[in-house]
Amino acid sequence: MTISVAVSGASGYAGGEVLRLLAGHPNVEIGAITAHSNAGSRLGELQPHLHALADRVLVDTTVENLTGHDVVFLALPHGASAEIAAQLPDDTLVIDAGADHRLTDPAAWEKFYGSPHAGSWPYGLPELPGHRELLRGAKRIAVPGCYPTSSLLALTPGFAAGLLEPDDVVIVAASGTSGAGKAAKPHLLGSEVMGGMSPYGVGGGHRHTPEIEQGLSAAAGEQVSISFTPTLAPMARGILTTATAKVRPGVDAAALRNAWERAYGEESFVRVLPEGQWPATKMVVGSNYAALQLAFDPHAGRVIVSAVIDNLTKGTAGGAIQSMNIALGLPEGAGLTQQGVAP
Amino acid sequence: MTISVAVSGASGYAGGEVLRLLAGHPNVEIGAITAHSNAGSRLGELQPHLHALADRVLVDTTVENLTGHDVVFLALPHGASAEIAAQLPDDTLVIDAGADHRLTDPAAWEKFYGSPHAGSWPYGLPELPGHRELLRGAKRIAVPGCYPTSSLLALTPGFAAGLLEPDDVVIVAASGTSGAGKAAKPHLLGSEVMGGMSPYGVGGGHRHTPEIEQGLSAAAGEQVSISFTPTLAPMARGILTTATAKVRPGVDAAALRNAWERAYGEESFVRVLPEGQWPATKMVVGSNYAALQLAFDPHAGRVIVSAVIDNLTKGTAGGAIQSMNIALGLPEGAGLTQQGVAP
Amino acid sequence: MTISVAVSGASGYAGGEVLRLLAGHPNVEIGAITAHSNAGSRLGELQPHLHALADRVLVDTTVENLTGHDVVFLALPHGASAEIAAQLPDDTLVIDAGADHRLTDPAAWEKFYGSPHAGSWPYGLPELPGHRELLRGAKRIAVPGCYPTSSLLALTPGFAAGLLEPDDVVIVAASGTSGAGKAAKPHLLGSEVMGGMSPYGVGGGHRHTPEIEQGLSAAAGEQVSISFTPTLAPMARGILTTATAKVRPGVDAAALRNAWERAYGEESFVRVLPEGQWPATKMVVGSNYAALQLAFDPHAGRVIVSAVIDNLTKGTAGGAIQSMNIALGLPEGAGLTQQGVAP
Amino acid sequence: MTISVAVSGASGYAGGEVLRLLAGHPNVEIGAITAHSNAGSRLGELQPHLHALADRVLVDTTVENLTGHDVVFLALPHGASAEIAAQLPDDTLVIDAGADHRLTDPAAWEKFYGSPHAGSWPYGLPELPGHRELLRGAKRIAVPGCYPTSSLLALTPGFAAGLLEPDDVVIVAASGTSGAGKAAKPHLLGSEVMGGMSPYGVGGGHRHTPEIEQGLSAAAGEQVSISFTPTLAPMARGILTTATAKVRPGVDAAALRNAWERAYGEESFVRVLPEGQWPATKMVVGSNYAALQLAFDPHAGRVIVSAVIDNLTKGTAGGAIQSMNIALGLPEGAGLTQQGVAP
């Protein structure tokens, strides 16, 4: 079975990663590759690491150019993807790597994005309870944000099992700079970021906050509120998420470990590491894997969970292709790898 | 006024930073430079960045070699410094950059270090309430750990002002690799650490946990308990601390900001940045400065404080020399700089 | 067709990369995974990025454990591989990623390695003139060194076409730290290498010098002598080689470009980039690709060639698997990718 | 003695480094701090590492604002500095960190910069033969480029002593990204530069080529021609220069070493390291030091010299202040340090 796929936003980091993975997907034929200001350029100028596609020429991101494929990936600024998606055929599988269709609550969307809500689509994180089923045969899929992917994988098992208190969740995450995109800004220059770390969006303002709370609340069956602080780390790829929540009275280390291991025991892309081994982002660079470890701190009455993903792979393009595979009935791991590129 | 100074542990990162700063101190004459296995080597082989001292030869770390100086810096493994300090003259100013004399509670020491408690000395963090006075004329000074320095500077103002709840403090910090020392271990190889992040000592096991709780509890006047997670970042120097605590009912953003600005308004090495500007570790590389910013997150009912220091400078050697200056009645900033080396 | 493969030296960087690629090879079944001091450990402890093989246990590197496979990869210190290889069956394909069988001249071997010469095997760089043919059906293959791979790909076309003077070749290369191996040495600590560069083995002493001269001389049909200076760059992977040679009288830019493009026009893993685009090591991280660009500097009468490879992939494990595929009659690119992992 | 100093181009990397060093200069009072588009901003927003000057406000870069100081530093794009310098009083010491007044040959200037030649000023590299004398009492000083500083320090002793052939000089240098400036360009993003290396300006096109040839030719007393290839390394600061030239017949290792050691034996900021020790850029980060080592390769008939500097310090701002000190009769090292910030 060969499916034709179009990729928009191909000059950015998310679009580039989608193309990198699709180039190795056994069932995919890459059709239109589109961009906005870079239309007309050779892909080799913009994504020089994609040697097999170097001579492909980018075309404009238009409904015309995207129509006629089995699958369309949208790697566009929020707002743009909703507008284009609305004009694509209903029987085309549209996978939105942007934010437009992630939030179910219009009020939350409007508060954090300041624009009308485009509605919500099936959420492409198959390892969450019940989500894989929703993706089978889906024609519209919202790809989770990178921080929500790691945060939800980190804490969902505990909330789903009723082991955690819904308030006082604290999440501090460190992301590689590719998460900030390819637009040239002074504070993202190599000279500025190499050898240093800094926080941003502190105090609840980050747009991923409502997305994380939405997922945790769904698992908990009650409203979960979090304090989320993202930081920028001197690396191109990877997210290390440190998530901690208070455990309910009587919950012990064994119960916690059991809940996490049960949740992911059957998964091929999420693993709780053996006791004593802690995750490192380099375990998952370029791979679709998420590695977790947890510890119970009785002194603080908290569970601390560390989770690592590659923000561009499992956190964006890899997760998107995993969801595509499920939607189309392909092997879930087609075109994806479990192995990280290390050292 | 010229004082003679001996430096032990000169082949390590802490000892090297002490020497880097002392080489530029207007009142210091560097006497014995000692090491253990590296005794007999030229300093230029071990610390090739210290050009002015390159031809100095290291001698053994013995009481004999250290005696006869006005000041002795101990940059030794814990245990070793207490043993040597006990044999140095009472009228010599002994500054211990190691852990032996930081904790006041013998039980806490024995729980985390598993050895007999050597007693506690004046704690060399002059910006904490009342600490500067204790350092004036002191003959024994315990240099704080690097994580405690940034964590205590981050949260003390709020506890001293009674604005924060004593439980549910969460601290997640990212440190440069020099904090892990110069001993060659596989997981600290450049190939392993470049381009990645990882947590360590998760779940309350890190030895800096009781030291942070000791300082915060003293400021709060009641027992403060924390959840502390350190992470290793791909940079040689710097610590970014993200510290968050629940605020007491009725406390607002203005009250919080006011407490922090009052606490550090007169300080020359600690500054709350203007509103809207967030700290970055590269602001303080090679400098004795600590830069802070805070935000009130009403949604989570928490204050989030970001603090940055250079773990080797303000976090170790710079703080040690600042304390030395106070103890000896020298200008507090002698031999230190406020400026970071950036980009 | 499925072949059984054993990998020795599995705890090092070269062995780890061989396993990473073999795990995705459609025709390979991974048999014995061996190590020396790490025998008995789970692979997941030593190569935590190889999730699919995490629970495999390493066995001793013995002839017994390696015998009985179709292919045996040797990623061992020089000396060790020759000793083991001599005892493996003649009909087993033995691929030596070490140095023992690269040099044809016993005197050169003894001068640079100070031990008896083990003899030479077909040289696994199929893009060199006539080499692909030698690899077909071979039962013993010597994997080129990483510096020689990039240096020979950079300059061979000019020498093979008779356009370059055989003396005054100057090569300066920058390598990622993984090229220095996984043994913990102080100068390879992250704290030491991050943010800095340094040369090593300056003045002709590097063991790759005779290997590069051997290949260039074979292409030129006369003795070529080089000045080679390797440097250590603050990155885990990748080699950037800057190679320059004097051009023969009357040779112009067009003739040079034509020679290089002709040499690699049919190759799937080596490419001369379009004029004006220069290589960057991140184009090839994790890929088996080599990217080149050249410029004629009439002022200096020299051609300057820049070449990039991933030292662990095309420079070691990828090149080894490419040669294995050729030897066994498999598709040359099986298990390999052209795409780099970027950014 | 206190001198008033104005600094233009204060929002860039060169201007920031001038200010960092001037803030610690015992004889300097910092007057006007000027910028172009950033006039009106607090310095703390643009150079957040300069804590002591954080509240200073930048004014426009105009002759009016710069006039009335004893010394004016120009850290401006080429063209701009010549225009302003021409309008400043003759008795003001004007130090141009830009390129406008470096080249003595109008034809060379016009070929590489494509604009009219502004004339040449005393060249601020006091360690070159006879240059220190030219700087004493000078009122106009041209600060050398960063690549020329390291290249000239590397090779001048050999040419001045008549030991080297004037043709076939090959220089390959790796620079930190701060050398490329603070203007936001996509290829300089952290995501692009971290973890990789790339060449640029290959084939003689780099504007520093004529400047290096000018200096070497003056030392040699005949025309020296070079092949120069700069590369971009994943570090914020530092230059590692690998320079090689053919030695004249009969010249041996001792003669070479002797020439270099004699040339710098009296210098306080340039040192030939002890035999066997090779330079590393981290030896000199933030310092005004240049560290060198050389090796004679009889096989290639070449001397290879490695030189390291901090491109922003000895390579720009430090060298500029060293020259200022000489011009004004201050201690040559005032406000400068020999110590690097390492690790």
**Contact at CB, D277 and B236, closer than 8 angstroms:** no
Average pLDDT of B209-213? Answer: 96
Query: What pLDDT does residue A1 have?
Result: 85
Average pLDDT of D243-251? Answer: 98
Query: Does residue A3 register a pLDDT over 90?
Result: yes
Q: How does strand C270-272 pair with strand C290-297?
A: parallel
Average pLDDT of D129-137? Answer: 98
Strand, coil or helix: C83: helix
B271 touches chain D (CB under 8 A): yes
**Cα D33 from Cα D19, distance rounded (Å):** 9
Which candidate in D22, D59, D97, D146 is catalytic? D146
Write out the two tokens for C255. Answer: 């003739």
**Cα D24 from Cα D15, distance rounded (Å):** 15
**pLDDT tier, D202 (very low <50, low <70, confident <90, very high otherwise):** confident
**Cα D26 from Cα D2, distance rounded (Å):** 8
Give the Cβ contact number of residue A252 at 10 Å.
12
Query: What pLDDT does residue D206 have?
Result: 85
Q: What are phi and psi of A262, to 5 degrees?
A: -65, -40
Query: What pLDDT does residue D112 have?
Result: 92
Query: What pLDDT does residue C33 have?
Result: 98
* Structure confidence by residue, pLDDT tens digits, D76-92: 998 999 999 999 999 99
Is residue C213 within 8 Å of D293, Cβ to Cβ?
no
Q: What are phi and psi of A172, to 5 degrees?
A: -125, 125
Chains in touch with A (≥3 Cβ pairs < 8 A): B, C, D
Query: What pLDDT does residue D255 have?
Result: 98
Query: Does residue A203 register a pLDDT over 90?
Result: no
Q: What is the pTM assigned to this prediction?
A: 0.97
Query: What pLDDT does residue D301 have?
Result: 95
Cβ-based contacts of B49 with chain D (< 8 Å): 282-285, 287, 339-342
**pLDDT tier, B289 (very low <50, low <70, confident <90, very high otherwise):** very high
**pLDDT tier, D46 (very low <50, low <70, confident <90, very high otherwise):** very high
Query: Does residue B205 register a pLDDT over 80?
Result: no
- DSSP class of residue A139? S
Query: What pLDDT does residue C147 have?
Result: 98
Residues shown for chain D: 343
Letter string b/e over residues A4-18, b meaning 16 or more CB atoms within 10 A of that residue's CB: ebbbbbbbbbbbbbb
* Partners of residue B229 on adjacent β-strands: B172
Angle at alpha carbon of residue C129, lines to C126 and C133, rounded to 5°: 55
Amino acid identity at B43: L
CA-based nearest residue to C115, from C80, C84, C74, C146: C80
Of all residues in chain A, what percent carry a pLDDT higher than 90? 97
Strand, coil or helix: B51: helix
**Contact at CB, A339 and C277, closer than 8 angstroms:** no
Interface of D with C in 169-208 (CB under 8 A): 170, 172, 174, 189, 191-192, 194-200, 202-204
Instruction: Sort D152 into a burial class: Cβ within 10 Å, 0-12 / 13-18 / 19+.
Output: buried
D338 touches chain B (CB under 8 A): yes
Query: Does residue B206 register a pLDDT over 90?
Result: no
**Contact at CB, C338 and A289, closer than 8 angstroms:** no
Q: Is D146 a catalytic residue?
A: yes
Query: Does residue A173 register a pLDDT over 90?
Result: yes
| Cα dihedral C224/C294/C312/C93 (nearest 10) | -60
Is residue C203 within 8 Å of C228, Cβ to Cβ?
no
Q: Which residues of B are catalytic?
A: 146
**Contact at CB, A343 and C20, closer than 8 angstroms:** no
Query: Does residue B65 register a pLDDT over 80?
Result: yes
Write out the two tokens for A182. Answer: 């390819």
**Cα B302 from Cα B290, distance rounded (Å):** 22
- Tell which wins on pLDDT, A332 or C203: A332
Domain residue limits, chain D:
3-121, 147-311
Query: Does residue A225 register a pLDDT over 90?
Result: yes
**pLDDT tier, A343 (very low <50, low <70, confident <90, very high otherwise):** very high
- DSSP class of residue C136? T
Q: How many helices (H) and strands (E) does chain B have?
A: 11, 13
Strand, coil or helix: D304: strand
**Cα B243 from Cα A86, distance rounded (Å):** 43
C341 touches chain A (CB under 8 A): yes
**Can you spell out the DSSP letters for C247-281?**
BPTT--HHHHHHHHHHHHTT-SSEEEPPTT----G
Query: What pLDDT does residue A74 have?
Result: 98
Distance from CA of A307 to the nearest CA of C (A): 14
Query: What pLDDT does residue D201 have?
Result: 83
Angle at alpha carbon of residue C158, lines to C152 and C161, rounded to 5°: 120
A343 touches chain B (CB under 8 A): yes
**Cα A208 from Cα B121, distance rounded (Å):** 46
User: Phi/psi class of residue C336: alpha, beta or left (left: φ > 0; alpha: ψ in -120 to 50)?
Assistant: beta
Instruction: Sort A40 into a burial class: Cβ within 10 Å, 0-12 / 13-18 / 19+.
Output: exposed
Cβ-based contacts of A48 with chain C (< 8 Å): 273, 277, 280, 283, 291, 342
**Contact at CB, C184 and B182, closer than 8 angstroms:** no
**According to the CATH classification, is domain A3-121 in 3.40.50.720?**
yes
* Structure confidence by residue, pLDDT tens digits, C111-129: 999 999 999 999 999 999 9
User: How many Cα neighbours within 13 Å face the side chain of B176?
Assistant: 35
Query: Does residue A126 register a pLDDT over 90?
Result: yes
Interface test with B, best of A150, A172, A178, A197 (most B CBs within 10 A): A197
**Cα B45 from Cα B38, distance rounded (Å):** 10
* Structure confidence by residue, pLDDT tens digits, C205-258: 788 999 999 999 999 999 999 999 999 999 999 999 999 999 999 999 999 999
Query: Does residue C204 register a pLDDT over 80?
Result: no
**Cα D54 from Cα D63, distance rounded (Å):** 24
**Contact at CB, A193 and D195, closer than 8 angstroms:** no
Cβ-based contacts of B246 with chain A (< 8 Å): 168
Write out the two tokens for B11. Answer: 């082949």
Interface test with C, best of B146, B182, B189 (most C CBs within 10 A): B189
Interface of D with B in 128-167 (CB under 8 A): none
Mean pLDDT of chain C: 97
* Partners of residue A142 on adjacent β-strands: A96, A123
Query: Does residue D204 register a pLDDT over 80?
Result: no
**Cα nearest neighbour of C187 on chain B:** B184
Query: What pLDDT does residue C166 have?
Result: 97
D238 touches chain C (CB under 8 A): yes
Chains in touch with D (≥3 Cβ pairs < 8 A): A, B, C
Strand, coil or helix: B231: strand
Q: How does strand C169-175 pair with strand C239-246?
A: antiparallel
Query: What pLDDT does residue C205 have?
Result: 75
CA-based nearest residue to A39, from A15, A18, A3: A15
Is residue B148 within 8 Å of B215, Cβ to Cβ?
yes
CA-based nearest residue to A50, from A78, A97, A15: A15
Q: Which residues contact C98 (CB under 8 A, 6 or more apart)?
A: C74, C75, C76, C77, C78, C80, C81, C143
**Cα A164 from Cα A297, distance rounded (Å):** 13
**Contact at CB, B20 and D341, closer than 8 angstroms:** yes
Angle at alpha carbon of residue C139, lines to C138 and C142, rounded to 5°: 80
Mean pLDDT of chain B: 97
Which candidate in C146, C256, C270, C312 is catalytic? C146
Cβ-based contacts of B41 with chain D (< 8 Å): none
* Partners of residue C141 on adjacent β-strands: C95
User: How many Cα neighbours within 13 Å face the side chain of A252?
Assistant: 1
Domains C3-121 and C147-311 share a fold: no
Alpha helices by DSSP H, listed for A23-170, are 43-46, 63-66, 80-85, 106-113, 131-135, 146-160
Strand, coil or helix: C253: helix
**Cα D270 from Cα D261, distance rounded (Å):** 10
Is residue C302 within 8 Å of C244, Cβ to Cβ?
yes
**Cα nearest neighbour of B272 on chain D:** D51
**Cα C12 from Cα C76, distance rounded (Å):** 9
Query: What pLDDT does residue D116 have?
Result: 94
Query: Does residue A201 register a pLDDT over 90?
Result: no
* Structure confidence by residue, pLDDT tens digits, A60-108: 999 999 999 999 999 999 899 999 999 999 999 999 999 999 999 999 9
Query: Does residue A320 register a pLDDT over 80?
Result: yes
Choose the closest CB to D280 out of C196, C238, C297. C196
Of all residues in chain D, what percent carry a pLDDT higher than 90? 97
**Contact at CB, A339 and C195, closer than 8 angstroms:** no
Chains in touch with C (≥3 Cβ pairs < 8 A): A, B, D
**Cα nearest neighbour of C191 on chain D:** D343
Q: What is the CATH number of domain D147-311?
A: 3.30.360.10
| Cα dihedral C194/C197/C200/C202 (nearest 10) | 180
Q: To which H or E segment does residue B122 belong?
A: none
Query: Does residue C324 register a pLDDT over 80?
Result: yes
Cβ-based contacts of D182 with chain B (< 8 Å): 343
